[in-house]
Structure 1
């Protein structure tokens, strides 16, 4: 049986009842103001029915655009980055872009260009929660870069889109202080990262002048590391903390385990808070008091900012994405 011929733009035009030029405008993303949305919908429906795919190589040669962006994240196993990707991909689709997801090296070293040439394959790069030095391979190609959850003073990025982690820490500190806690341990992420450095500084500033004692224990971003760090804090020979403020929900879950293993009740003997509001925050008992980070909204804003840069705009750094405190059963006044 002979292979069925691949449908062409001419076939799509015939099926949709429009000119071939109109099809080119639609798939070249140049239809705005020139073709009605009703006709665009008809062309795309005809393309889906026929199984038509535009010739991306030819379009790249013609327009100089690949309509592809790279999203670089620290890890693919973290639920936050999955939600971030969904936000990026949703807005990218609105602009006719595809998104390639790429994890940065786990050792924190420079990310390797996953392509023969990033400049020939990508229009732009979005990178979340990492130092821009990791992205030197892409910067060398002069590709527009938008950073997410990163240092806004970084001159290497065209723009930076951040969550309001400062306000998140302030809300957590105010919550614990309002409950009466004055001995607080910070279970801090032991990573060289702008977002975690900001959290440490903000917490110290928020507790300054309140009479509260602050102890810091560092941990990798795993449940077991959080458990070990919490055990060190709770077994300290000096006054035991009455609250553990954790940089990440998995660290907080580890802290819950540490308290249980030491015979302490949460929240009666020690309060525990997280950060991110991952699914696991409501899968434990007691459920975690935490800060909700709207990852999808951050992804959407990041992609809109990158699209603006690619269109020749200079969007600057938008206002931080608001976060919210979610109070659940893991916090209460100290005994």
Structure 2
């Protein structure tokens, strides 16, 4: 039989998990009414709930260590997220351990003999909640903060998200205002909520009189270049007419798209406009420099750590998605007549 968790107690009592944590830790006075505290204790007793002592110690900050789980170490975005998280953590006497999920966005294995005895909590970036089951364990009591992840999936203590749809809407509108009507979406081959949001915003922004073709590629410059070469070479009919604008899911894909265009003898941006997403260092290392969407990656990490600290103190964390910014550079221009 599965042991009841604090989340089960919260659901049965009709209160928040933070309230349950305060009551069961004896920190409810002045924050929760005595009637509610009694109700929570009685509900816990009725369910047969027994606190996980290791997890309870973790909430008191006994290890003062957070685990940041990311799907890749080669992506600058996650390095900046770590920088932000570590900066806030240091100001509170915490350390952050960076852990690469060995299977990317797939299930992450427990990097310790027992994560629940070594960590105060987990921050996971651009992953699905169920991918963290192996680390959190069966009782699910270890606090979990999800970054850039589906907030409707549930299962996390707090979420920190980015206004991704606003970013994709802005870059698409920019291209439409320049006169582009034939679009190619160079999409990430990674099956992830963060990329689904971008694709939906792109399709939603394009109106009548436009065409859209989607091509997927792994998140490497080489793979993006190969996928783009194939897509641009295949333009034999109206349904596959050569696009005048390529919208990429991130800057890595955009650099691959630029490389493919040059190999095919296309001039940028005269023959083809290309946009990225994230505003990595790559965006200004290419010529022409990329029009892209700037994501405050370091701020994502900062707020992720702040959210975890709030959860550890028994407070709820709610915040609107972090704003993004369209950065227009030389890789986009009105389409030329052919």
Q: Same fold (TM over 0.5)?
A: yes
Aligned residue for 2:229, secondary structure, equals: helix
CA pair 217-110 structure 1, distance change in 2 beyond 3 A: same
Q: 1:274-316, CA deviations, whole angstroms, 9 ceiling, x for partnerless residues?
A: 1111111111111111111110011111111111001001123
Superposed counterparts of 1:90-109, under 5 Å: 90-106=87-103, 108-109=105-106
Mapped contact 2:72–2:104 kept (Cα < 8 A): no
Q: CA RMSD, aligned part only?
A: 1.5
Cα 1:62–1:222, aligned 2, differ >3 Å: closer, same or farther?
Answer: closer
Residue segments in structure 2 that go unaligned for 5+ positions in a row: 1-56
1:64 positional shift: 6.1
Residue in 2 that maps onto 1:85? 82
| Structure-2 change in CA distance of 1:81 and 1:61 (3 Å) | closer
Task: Give yes or no for the alignment of 1:183 onto 2:182.
Answer: yes
**Contact residue 88 and residue 300 of structure 1 kept, 8 A:** yes
Residues of 2 paired with 1:228 and 1:72: CA distance? 30
1:107/1:165 CA distance change after superposition, 3 Å: closer
Q: 1:116 aligned to 113, 134, 153, which one?
A: 113
**Residue among 117, 133, 138 paired with 2:135:** 138
- Rounded to whole Å, the distance in 2 between the matches of 1:330 and 1:309 is 43
Q: Could you say which structure has the larger radius of gyration?
A: 1
Deviation, 1:93, is 1.1
CA distance in 1, matches of 2:333, 2:58: 62
The 5-angstrom pairing of residues 208-227 of structure 1 reads 209-227=207-225
Structural mapping, 1:280-295, within 5 Å: 280-295=282-297
Three-state SS of the structure 2 residue aligned to 1:205 is helix
1:298 to 278, 300, 315: 300
Whether 1:333 aligns to 2:334 is yes
| Alpha-carbon distance in structure 1 between the residues aligned to 2:67 and 2:104 | 20
**Residues 286 and 61 of structure 1: CA distance in aligned 2, closer, same or farther (over 3 Å):** closer
Render the CA deviation track for 1:40-76: whole Å, top value 9, x for unaligned.
Answer: xxxxxxxxxxxxxxxxxxxx79956210000000111
Task: Say yes or no: does 1:169 pair with 2:168.
Answer: yes
Are the equivalent residues in 2 in contact too, given 1:217–1:232 (CA < 8 A)?
A: no
Compared CA separation, residues 63 and 196, structure 1 to 2 (3 A)? closer
Tell me the matched-pair count.
274
Query: Partners of 1:128 and 1:109 in 2: how far apart?
Result: 12
Q: What are the ranges of 5 or more consecutive residues in structure 1 without an aligned counterpart?
A: 1-59
Of 253, 277, 280, the residue aligned with 1:278 is: 280
Kindly state the Cα deviation for residue 210 of structure 1 after the two structures are TM-superposed: 3.6
TM-score by length of 1: 0.79
Q: Distance in 1 between matches of 2:276 and 2:168?
A: 10
Q: Per-residue displacement from partner, 1:210-256 (whole Å, max 9, x unpaired)?
A: 42101000000010111122222212223110000000111111111
TM-score scaled to structure 2, two decimals? 0.78
